[in-house]
Structure 1
Amino acid sequence: MKVAVVNWRDPWHPDSGGAETYAWQMASRMARAGHEVCFVTARAPGQSRAQTRDGVRVRRMGGVFTVYPLVLLWLLARRGRFDAVLDCQNGIPFFTPWVLPRRTRILLVVHHVHDRQFGLHLPWWLAAVGRFLEGPVSRWTYRGHASVAVSPSTVRAMRERLGWSGPIHVVHNGVTAGPPPEVVRSPVPRVVCVGRLVAHKRVDVLLDAVAELRERWPDLTVDVVGRGPEEAALRARLPEGVTLHGYLPEEEKERLIASAWVHVSASQGEGWGLSVVEAAALGVPTVAFDVDGLRDAVRDGETGWLVPETGSPATDLAKGLAAALDELTREGPDAYNMKCREWAGRFSWDAGADRLMALISGANLEER
């Protein structure tokens, strides 16, 4: 089959995250299976317009907002070329049914519902436009097409908050991280946070919790790995004991995670929580808020701890981290190692890609 994967960014974009990892893992496996795959995406400064990687042709055009009309025009000019399109929604989709023939199989991929997050990133009027496009316009545009969600939380949000009525299939993220050689767990409490530095990830909440935690654990260190628009503001207020690493190569990042006692996510909500399961693959449990996506990625009491948000997020997170560190101090920092690895071992990019390719090929799979 000839397949187009349209996604807001590619994995080499400076603002890429888990959605880009997902789209690329699927695209590269489709190419490996013999399909002709084109990955159509935005172009960051310094990126080439076209290249081929892992057997996938990459075409880049436009910026944050202009990528949408440019991709539609690009597809319109090639409207008879593709048998299937993977339309990846990052807040709003590309609305590819508007320009493609009815015979083209279109599969919408939704990571999480953004309605509550638009206001964190956009002025009120633009946030209202975003919610309108994500809700009624998307629901009407894709009414005759199947959708893919990355977690049960996303399925519920699509049904309850977007009024989605069509078929939704769950295709989980996989895990690529593995145990790096000769990693020694830190002898003192060490917390790691991995993710894009954007408003809804709420890394500032973790920084607010550090002072209280260091009163009990003076040697506590916190490592934050990631980059994004919030980086300068976070660097300006780093408390003692916190290191903001920015981007790290994969092997170095894995070594840092594997040396930690616990991984933490203060996010307001996720589609899944790829960093959570990648940490689990390295034997590291996660403390996270009990919110969409993270409640699917963390098995409370088995691979980490889910924290209810009852008042001040920083106070609630500090209490959750303190309880986790108390338990790990008592039981040992490797207490959750095996359960975490067993949980992460359930998720495979190969299995996810197989399911996705079956859906693209028209297989009538049971929704789950």
Structure 2
Amino acid sequence: MNIAVVNWRDPWHPAAGGAETYAWEMARRFAASGHRVCFVTARGPGQPAKDKRDGVRIARMGGPFTVYPLVLGWLLLRRSLFDVVLDCQNGIPFFTPWVLPRRVRIFCVVHHVHDRQFEVHLPRWLAAVGRFLEGPVSRWTYRGQVSVAVSPSTVNAMRERLGWRGPIHIVPNGVSINGSRNIGRSGVPRLVCVGRLVAHKRVDLLLDAVGELRKRWPGLTVDVIGRGPEEDRLRARLPEGVTMHGYLSEDDKERLIASAWLQVSTSQGEGWGLCVLEAAALGVPTVAFDVDGLRDAVRHGRTGWLLPEGTDLAKGIAAALEELEEAAPADPYGDRSRQWAARFCWDRSAERMARLMRGHAVEPVWEES
């Protein structure tokens, strides 16, 4: 097949995150299977307009907003070339059905519903535009298309908050770990927080909790891994015991995560929470709020702890640390986390997506364990 994967950014864009990982893991596996794949995306500072990696052609154009009309124009000129398009929604989709013929199979890929996050990042008037495009305009545009979500939370949000009526299939994230890490957790409590440093991740909540936690565990440390527009502001208010690492190589990131007692996610909501799965593969459970996506990625009481929104985060983390101390040297949460992560594989997810693209039926996914 001739496949276009249309995504807001590519994995080498300075603002790349989990959505870019998902789109790229799909694209490069399609290419490895013999399909002709083009990854169409925005052009970050210093990035070439054309590129090729892992057998995937990359076409870059425009910035955060101009990428949308430019991609539509690019596809319009090539409307006869593609059999399948993955139209990846990052707040709003690319509305590719507007310019492509009916014979092209278009799949709207949704990580999470952004309606409540637009106002966190945008002026009120622009947030209203975003909600209109994500809701009524998207619902009408993709009414005849098959959609893909990454988790049950996203399916529910699409149905309940966006009024989506068409078929939605779940194609979950996979996990990529470079190697087996048998480092074991550190001698004193160590927390890790991984992700884009943006407002809706609410890293401030973790920083606010550190002082209280260090009263009980004076040697407790926190490693924050990631970059983003909030980085400078967060660095200016770091409490004692917290290190902000910015970007790390995969090996260095895995080494830090593997030595942690807990990963902490303070996000307002996710499609899934890829960092939860990556930590679980290394035997590290996660403390998170019981919000969209994270309630799917964390098995409460088995691979981590889910806290009701508004819960005192320091108390929630302290309870988890105490439970881990009491269980030592056994590591039931670590063992169950590895078993949970082993259920998710990029190869299987890409094959599931490929079956959908060929028009084949797929079995239901996501039975509770």
Instruction: Give the TM bin, normalised by the shorter chain.
Output: over 0.9
CA distance in 2, matches of 1:351, 1:366: 12
Amino acid at match of 1:268: Q
- Deviation sequence 1:160-193 (CA, Å, 0-9, x none): 0000000000000001025545524210000000
Moved more, 145-154 or 207-216: 207-216
Amino acid at match of 2:223: D
Secondary structure of the 1:336 match is: helix
Secondary structure of the 1:245 match is: strand
CA distance in 2, matches of 1:182, 1:272: 26
Amino acid at match of 1:364: A
CA distance in 2, matches of 1:303, 1:162: 31
1:352 equivalent to 2:349? Answer: yes
Secondary structure of the 2:46 match is: coil
- Deviation sequence 1:101-159 (CA, Å, 0-9, x none): 01011011000000000000000000000000000000000000000000000000000
Which residue, out of 336, 341, 353, partners 1:339?
336
Checking the alignment, whether the CA contact within 8 Å between 1:87 and 1:108 is kept in structure 2 is yes
The alpha carbon displacement at 1:317 in A equals 1.2
Could you say which residue in structure 1 is the equivalent of 2:222? 222
The alpha carbon displacement at 1:227 in A equals 0.2
1:181 to 1:305, Cα distance in 2 relative to 1, 3 A: closer
Could you say which residue in structure 2 is the equivalent of 1:30? 30
Amino acid at match of 2:361: N
Could you say which residue in structure 1 is the equivalent of 2:146? 146
CA distance in 2, matches of 1:267, 1:130: 20
Could you say which residue in structure 2 is the equivalent of 1:322? 318
Q: How does 1:151-166 map to 2 (within 5 A)?
A: 151-166=151-166
- TM-score, length-scaled by structure 2: 0.97
CA distance in 2, matches of 1:342, 1:135: 37
Checking the alignment, whether the CA contact within 8 Å between 1:112 and 1:271 is kept in structure 2 is yes
CA distance in 1, matches of 2:346, 2:180: 19
Secondary structure of the 2:238 match is: coil
1:258 equivalent to 2:258? Answer: yes
Checking the alignment, whether the CA contact within 8 Å between 2:176 and 2:278 is kept in structure 1 is yes
The alpha carbon displacement at 1:310 in A equals 3.2
Amino acid at match of 1:328: L
Detail structure 1 runs of 4+ shifted over 2 Å in the superposition.
178-182, 332-335, 364-368
Secondary structure of the 2:71 match is: helix
The alpha carbon displacement at 1:335 in A equals 3.7
Amino acid at match of 1:317: L
CA distance in 1, matches of 2:246, 2:126: 29
RMSD over aligned Cα atoms: 1.1
| Contiguous gaps of at least 5 residues in structure 1 | none
Checking the alignment, whether the CA contact within 8 Å between 2:31 and 2:56 is kept in structure 1 is yes
CA distance in 1, matches of 2:121, 2:177: 30
Aligned length: 364
Could you say which residue in structure 2 is the equivalent of 1:198? 198
Moved more, 321-330 or 158-167: 321-330
Secondary structure of the 2:106 match is: strand
Could you say which residue in structure 1 is the equivalent of 2:20? 20
CA distance in 1, matches of 2:26, 2:180: 24
Amino acid at match of 1:320: G
CA distance in 2, matches of 1:191, 1:335: 18
Checking the alignment, whether the CA contact within 8 Å between 2:178 and 2:251 is kept in structure 1 is no
- TM-score, length-scaled by structure 1: 0.97
1:3 equivalent to 2:3? Answer: yes
- Deviation sequence 1:192-226 (CA, Å, 0-9, x none): 00000000111111101111111111100000000
- Deviation sequence 1:69-115 (CA, Å, 0-9, x none): 00000000101000010000000000000000010110110000000
Checking the alignment, whether the CA contact within 8 Å between 1:257 and 1:279 is kept in structure 2 is yes
The alpha carbon displacement at 1:330 in A equals 1.4
1:111 to 1:218, Cα distance in 2 relative to 1, 3 A: same
Checking the alignment, whether the CA contact within 8 Å between 2:223 and 2:244 is kept in structure 1 is yes
The alpha carbon displacement at 1:329 in A equals 1.5
| Contiguous gaps of at least 5 residues in structure 2 | none
Secondary structure of the 1:91 match is: coil
Checking the alignment, whether the CA contact within 8 Å between 1:180 and 1:255 is kept in structure 2 is no
The alpha carbon displacement at 1:367 in A equals 5.4
The alpha carbon displacement at 1:61 in A equals 0.4
1:15 to 1:94, Cα distance in 2 relative to 1, 3 A: same
1:212 equivalent to 2:209? Answer: no
